[in-house]
A and B are shown apart, each in its own frame.
Chain A
Amino acid sequence: MEKRSMKSAYAYLVPSTIIMTLMLGFPIVYNIIISFTEWTLKSSEKHFNGIDNYIKVLMDEKFIKILIITVLWTGINILLQMLIGIGLALFADHLTKGKKFMRVILLIPWIIPGTVTALTWKWMLQSDVGIVNYLLMHFNLTGQNILFLSDQNIALMTLILVHVWKAFPFWFLMITASLQNKPVDQIEAAVMDGARYPHILRYIILPHLSPIIASTGVLTTIWTLNYFDLIWLMTKGGPMDATSTLPIYTYRLAFEFNDFGRSAALAVISLIVVSLVCIPYVRKMFHNMKEEGVL
């Protein structure tokens, strides 16, 4: 009986597996093939060139700089999104009044389209007419206008903060959803035993949240590392490549330098980077799934 139901379950998976194979498998395989091909718009012919594209990408003096920027962009972004998202979700969970209102308000940045977010923040962060500098000057927090997007030393951090503002609500949403199912009986027992909130948080709530933190971590890491429109619209990767991440450079290689082979090789390298970054999350996710008997 169990075997039959398992067969049925696998049978139900077949259509979606075929669709996923076609929708994801073909572009992946095709991209990998292109990455071993000399393919530019300058010539109608495509030649197999082995690992030349990979060598060119790795030897490109900009590559290391862009890789470091990508790691910083992703790492700081995820850390801040996670801390703010979890913190606010725990705070909202404690509220007795205004909980729903806070949830709605905090989700607004996530709902706003990326293009609108980018252009609005670009305007607000302008050095001379932007409202952010105006407010900072008004409250004497700075003596001169800050070049948020034009100073190569702070442009990346500025973009990270804007993206955190846009993306933390997803963490907030996921953690809030998980908190609806928190082990109330364990928490009550701990309170009766005299446990303080930090201990309850550490030994009961966070272990309860860890599966959702791992899966949200995987998703947001992938999304953040591949985020394109906010950076492109706000700085185009400048000034002096200070905000140029792997997706920005991949796009430039393909559509500015017309080199599809090199662009594809960089995309494959990006895939490897994402995979490496995601390994701890994925291991944690599998660990939790095994513990819950899903796997």
Chain B
Amino acid sequence: MKRKAKSFLACALCVAMVAGTVLTGCGNSGGNDSKKEDTGDKKVITFYGFSDWVDTDPYKSVYQEVKAQFEKENPGYEVELQSDPWGDWEQKNKTMFASGNVADVFYVGNDNFPTFANSGNLLDLDQYVDKGYFDDFFENVRKMYQWEGKSEAIPFTTDCRILWYNKEIFKEAGLDPENPPKTWDELRDDAKQITEKTGKYGFGMDLGLKEIPAQSLICASDYSILDVADDGTVTSNVKDQAFKDYLKLLSDMKDTYEPDFTNLDHHDVAKQFAEGQFGMIIGNNLSETDIYDKDFWGQALVPTMTADSPQGSFGGGFGISVNSETKYPEQAVKFAQMLCDPKYNGDLVSDIPASNAGAANCAYAKDDKYAVIMDQIQYVRQAQPKTLYFNEVQAAVYDTVANVIVGGQDIDSAVDALDSQINDIVKQ
């Protein structure tokens, strides 16, 4: 009997050890305690962002300035700035939402906005801001932060992708370095010519970034992966010829990609472009590289689907939202507005402010080297509208592109499978 008890104890410990190791990654890991109690006479408003901006120079001092200014204008209130490194921020932010432990004011990534908005955790800002407050924000970006007709985040930053090309490689390939591609066909031809004539990689593909690959190319057209009717009905458009053309373009250019393209993300591609390894890439400001002082590069707007297609580029970025459960909604919204004030906005972020006045006041607007980015920024949008299925559809499209480019699946069957997958996602 004793032996059985010991065996049982040993078994239980083994199971606990195994289970502890397997399961500890799941469930509620808590995160920061973002709901701080008021201190003394002061009412505390918590703010949560990532430390790459909130707690890193040169932005840190501006956050402190905004905090000081807010506290001066709102006696009795104190702002507590909380942050985590970028790598941890998104995961912790989601964990905070999952556990109902959300800060009063926080960054919200545009990709997760529908999820957070639908959860009811975001305050309807229209009730607290003046009529016309949102008029100066970029319209396409503003739409990204609207949910069921309500504005639930103030557009804080955006970015855009442009075509970067290597003029020296263009010359080596016999291409005109002052005449970068303007359409998808020209992009394909130039990329192929670069690879054939120089042996270098014509186009930098970043399939390691698990998002819709080269999404800017879709945005440079009048095509959208989904349509959302006024009654909320979602329709898949992936059987349209435009989407098949997009898949064919990426497939046709495969021989021009760096061989490890399935593992390269946008940072890898940017760095390799800055090292002169790619003829062309579609990237943002490449601030993670030392390209600024080099002189081999040229910039152009993202090539459009056809010569008649509208300009476009993928733009992401962040909004500032307010917790619907905050004790001090009025002051929290005021603090959110202060962060998005054109006076401060450009100095709080490494991206571009999402308003006309903010963008005009940021460092990029004052530097000729970013003139193309400032031209392109007004055309930013995304390849699909914001729906509750945003991440699932994105993953399905990613898998389809991978199946076609890497797995060699034929485009028609890939598109049929994607269409039924999207319909299943929407149905669920």
The chain A residues found within 8 Å of chain B, CB to CB, are 20, 23-25, 27-28, 30-31, 34, 39-44, 122, 126-128, 145, 147, 149-150, 152, 218, 222-223, 225-226, 228, 234-236, 238-240, 247, 250-251, 254-258, 260, 263-264, 267-268, 270-271, 274-275, 278, 282, 286, 289, 295
- Beta-carbon contact of B391 and A257 below 8 Å: yes
Contact of B115 (CB < 8 Å), options: A27, A41, A127: A41
Nearest A residue to B90, CB-CB: A255
B119 part of interface (Cβ distance < 8 Å): yes
- Beta-carbon contact of A255 and B91 below 8 Å: yes
Counting chain B residues whose Cβ lies within 8 A of the other chain, the interface size class is 35 or more
User: In the complex, how many residue pairs between chain A and chain B have their CB atoms under 8 Å apart?
Assistant: 150
Nearest B residue to A6, CB-CB: B2
- Interface-central residue, B114, B406, B407, by most chain A CB under 10 Å: B406
Counting from the closest, the 9 A-B pairs by CB-CB distance are A239-B262, A24-B20, A127-B259, A267-B26, A150-B262, A31-B23, A271-B22, A31-B27, A41-B115
- Beta-carbon contact of A20 and B16 below 8 Å: yes
CB distance from B106 to the nearest CB of A (A): 14
- Beta-carbon contact of B3 and A295 below 8 Å: yes
- Beta-carbon contact of A239 and B402 below 8 Å: yes
B392 part of interface (Cβ distance < 8 Å): yes
- Interface-central residue, A28, A30, A257, A270, by most chain B CB under 10 Å: A28
B210 part of interface (Cβ distance < 8 Å): yes
Assembled-state Cα–Cα distance A4/B11 (Å): 25
A23 in contact with B20 given A239-B262, A240-B403 (CB within 8 Å): yes
Assembled-state Cα–Cα distance A225/B19 (Å): 12
Residues of chain A contacted by B229 (CB below 8 angstroms): none
Listed by A's residue number, 28 A-B pairs whose Cβ atoms lie within 8 Å are A20-B13, A24-B19, A27-B23, A28-B23, A30-B27, A34-B26, A41-B115, A42-B118, A44-B100, A128-B260, A150-B261, A150-B263, A152-B407, A218-B14, A222-B17, A225-B22, A226-B21, A226-B22, A251-B25, A255-B90, A255-B94, A267-B23, A267-B25, A267-B26, A271-B22, A274-B18, A282-B11, A295-B7
- Taking chain B's interface residues, is the majority helix, strand, or loop, or is none over half, making it mixed? helix
Assembled-state Cα–Cα distance A239/B402 (Å): 8
- Beta-carbon contact of A234 and B263 below 8 Å: yes
CB distance from A120 to the nearest CB of B (A): 15
B238 part of interface (Cβ distance < 8 Å): no
CB distance from B101 to the nearest CB of A (A): 12
Nearest B residue to A228, CB-CB: B25
Assembled-state Cα–Cα distance A31/B23 (Å): 7
- Beta-carbon contact of A149 and B263 below 8 Å: yes
Assembled-state Cα–Cα distance A243/B118 (Å): 33
B388 part of interface (Cβ distance < 8 Å): yes
CB distance from A213 to the nearest CB of B (A): 16
B6 part of interface (Cβ distance < 8 Å): yes
Residues of chain A contacted by B395 (CB below 8 angstroms): 256-257
Nearest B residue to A30, CB-CB: B27
- Beta-carbon contact of B402 and A240 below 8 Å: yes
Residues of chain B contacted by A238 (CB below 8 angstroms): 207-208, 210, 262-263, 402
B159 part of interface (Cβ distance < 8 Å): no
Assembled-state Cα–Cα distance A104/B116 (Å): 51
Contact of B10 (CB < 8 Å), options: A24, A271, A286: A286
- Beta-carbon contact of B18 and A278 below 8 Å: yes
CB distance from A80 to the nearest CB of B (A): 21
- Beta-carbon contact of A270 and B22 below 8 Å: yes
Residues of chain A contacted by B224 (CB below 8 angstroms): none
CB distance from B424 to the nearest CB of A (A): 11
Nearest B residue to A149, CB-CB: B263
B121 part of interface (Cβ distance < 8 Å): yes
Assembled-state Cα–Cα distance A222/B23 (Å): 12
- Beta-carbon contact of B208 and A236 below 8 Å: yes
Nearest A residue to B264, CB-CB: A150
Nearest B residue to A24, CB-CB: B20
B97 part of interface (Cβ distance < 8 Å): yes
* Given A150-B261, A295-B3, 18 new contacts (CB under 8 A): A24-B17, A28-B20, A34-B26, A44-B100, A127-B259, A149-B262, A150-B263, A223-B21, A240-B407, A255-B94, A256-B210, A258-B94, A260-B26, A264-B27, A268-B23, A271-B18, A271-B19, A282-B14
- Beta-carbon contact of A122 and B263 below 8 Å: yes
- Interface-central residue, B114, B210, B260, by most chain A CB under 10 Å: B260
